[in-house]
Amino acid sequence: MIRNEPAVAVVPQEPPPERVRRQVPGAVLSGGVLLLVLAAWQAVVRVFDVPEVLVPAPTEVLASLVAGLADGSLVEHSWVTLQEILVGFGIAVLAALLCAFLVTQSRVLDKALFPLIVMTQTIPKVAMAPLLVVWFGTELTSKVLTTALIAFFPLLINAILGLRSADPDQIDMLRSFGATRMDVLRRLQIPSALPHIFAGLDVAVVLSVTGAIVAEFVGATAGLGYVIQATNFTLDVSRTFAVLVILSAIGLALHAIVVVCNRKIVFWSAEHRTPTEQA
């Protein structure tokens, strides 16, 4: 009815502008810089004739990487490390979300556990790796637990912050419609927590890679961390660099998965918001 009134011309009849934004060629720029650095590195190594056991040229690293992948040894070790990362990360996610839920839902648990959580935050988790190896041996378990331990805390803190980030006015709004605590949790607090949880996931997934490598340094018979130590011992520095390339590729891939999931699931978050007009 109001629509028939000419006065309501405030409502724009034209569709809002395109959702698609013009891509800033950031990837092109940083890719170019990377290529420049690699070229400079190659040039320096060649011009000053740096020995391969000190700093190998990028081409030597590439050759070692290709050889390692071709004979399957790097693939095998990568698979071991990737398993440790994924299982450890998965355990960290489940444990952190469960703990965050308990701490935010129960005042008693919050008071009892939160100071302890903050306290354990100060322990360098890396320092726990040798203990875990002593307790659980040099097989998968100790690596998975070290990884989970390192990834757990940033995720936990972010999840707690997220579950507490719901706007109090929004809670009032839901309560004014008779929402129960469960309604508020389901319809407001969990969705509000998602952006924070994804920020935590992003940190945690990168830390998981560190966790797995550190645990392998301490005691392992396979995995990329083991390869780094072994090639260090035999002065096969090109292979060490090749492993670093694989590790950064794993980290990058995991980070990309988190980013894509974030964009799909938390589609409403600030960076995607495009108001059609100012009020």
Report phi then psi at 158, rounded to 5. -65, -40
Q: How far is the CB of 175 from another protein (least distance, A)?
A: 6
Tell whether residue 255 is a contact of another protein (CB under 8 A).
no
| 57 vs 159 by CB, closer to another protein | 159
Tell whether residue 3 is a contact of another protein (CB under 8 A).
yes
Q: How far is the CB of 197 from another protein (least distance, A)?
A: 14
| 16 vs 51 by CB, closer to another protein | 16
| 10 vs 119 by CB, closer to another protein | 10
Greatest distance between any 2 Cα atoms in the chain: 84
The torsion region of residue 60 among left (phi > 0), alpha (psi -120 to 50) and beta comes to alpha
Q: How far is the CB of 262 from another protein (least distance, A)?
A: 13
What tokens does 70 get?
Answer: 């071709």
Tell whether residue 169 is a contact of another protein (CB under 8 A).
yes
Residues of span 6-25 touching another protein by CB under 8 A = 7-8, 10-11, 13, 16
Residues sharing a CB contact under 8 Å with residue 149, sequence separation 6 or more, in sequence order: 92, 125, 128, 132, 211
Report how far residue 134's alpha carbon sits from residue 127's, in angstroms, rounded to the nearest whole number: 13
Q: How far is the CB of 168 from another protein (least distance, A)?
A: 10
Taking residues 125 to 164 in sequence order and writing x for each that binds another protein by CB under 8 A, - otherwise, the string is: ----------------------------------------
Tell me which residue has tokens 């810089």: 33
Report how far residue 129's alpha carbon sits from residue 215's, in angstroms, rounded to the nearest whole number: 6
Residues of span 179-208 touching another protein by CB under 8 A = 179, 183, 187-188, 191
Tell whether residue 172 is a contact of another protein (CB under 8 A).
yes
Q: If we measure between CA atoms, which residue out of 121, 138, 119 comes closest to residue 130?
A: 138
Of 26, 72, 124, 275, which one interacts with another protein (CB under 8 A)?
275
| 47 vs 107 by CB, closer to another protein | 107
Tell whether residue 63 is a contact of another protein (CB under 8 A).
no
Rounded-to-5 percentages of helix, strand, coil across the chain: 75, 0, 25
Of 178, 221, 233, 264, which one interacts with another protein (CB under 8 A)?
178
Report the SS3 class of residue 258: helix
Report how far residue 218's alpha carbon sits from residue 107's, in angstroms, rounded to the nearest whole number: 39
Tell whether residue 276 is a contact of another protein (CB under 8 A).
yes
205: exposed, middle or buried (C-beta count within 10 Å: 0-12, 13-18, 19+)? buried
Report how far residue 244's alpha carbon sits from residue 71's, in angstroms, rounded to the nearest whole number: 18
| 139 vs 167 by CB, closer to another protein | 167
Q: How far is the CB of 260 from another protein (least distance, A)?
A: 18
The residues of the shown chain that bind another protein, judged by CB under 8 A, are 1-3, 5, 7-8, 10-11, 13, 16, 167, 169-170, 172-179, 183, 187-188, 191, 267-268, 272-279
